[in-house]
Amino acid sequence: MQITTECTAYMAEHCGLTPNNFKRPETINASDLIFSTHDWKGDLPEGWTRVGKAVITVDIPSVDAIIGAKVDSLKAQVKAIRADAEAKVNFIESQINNLLAIEYSPS
């Protein structure tokens, strides 16, 4: 299945495109632009430039493929959160062990 939508193309603040790219449009890769159905008109985010209108067609995979991709993404988030939590726990345990290793001598 495909969906087609009209949107607006923008260059974000750190976009690597230059005026020379627009003199030679074949040098522009669509991935250098941001596409949005929201048209900010004159109220663009700081550093953004409105390029123009675009029509985008997206091939939508099967619902099973979308669910599988989402599950993989969520599993990756869980893995990252666990790694971050483990690093924080190890740091705190190290601080505890360092404090317990200090010999206490009352004055």
The pTM assigned to this predicted structure is 0.57
pLDDT at 106: 72
Domain ranges of the chain: 2-59, 62-107
Q: Are strands 34-36 and 49-59 parallel, antiparallel or unpaired?
A: unpaired
Total residue count of the chain as it appears in this document: 107
pLDDT at residue 102, rounded to an integer: 82
Mean pLDDT of the chain: 90
Q: Which residues contact 85 (CB under 8 A, 6 or more apart)?
A: none
Any idea which residue has 């505890």 for tokens?
A: 96
Residue 72 has pLDDT above 80, yes or no: yes
Question: Alpha-carbon distance 82 to 76, whole Å?
Answer: 10
Task: Give the pLDDT confidence of 24-71 residue by residue, as tens digits.
Answer: 888 888 889 999 988 776 788 888 988 989 999 999 999 999 999 999
Residue where the block lists tokens 């493929």? 65
Q: What is the mean pLDDT of residues 85-99?
A: 95
Res 30: pLDDT: 86
The rounded distance, in Å, linking the Cα atoms of 36 and 46 is 16
- pLDDT at residue 45, rounded to an integer: 87
β partners of residue 57: 4
Residue 70 C-alpha from the chain's centroid: 15
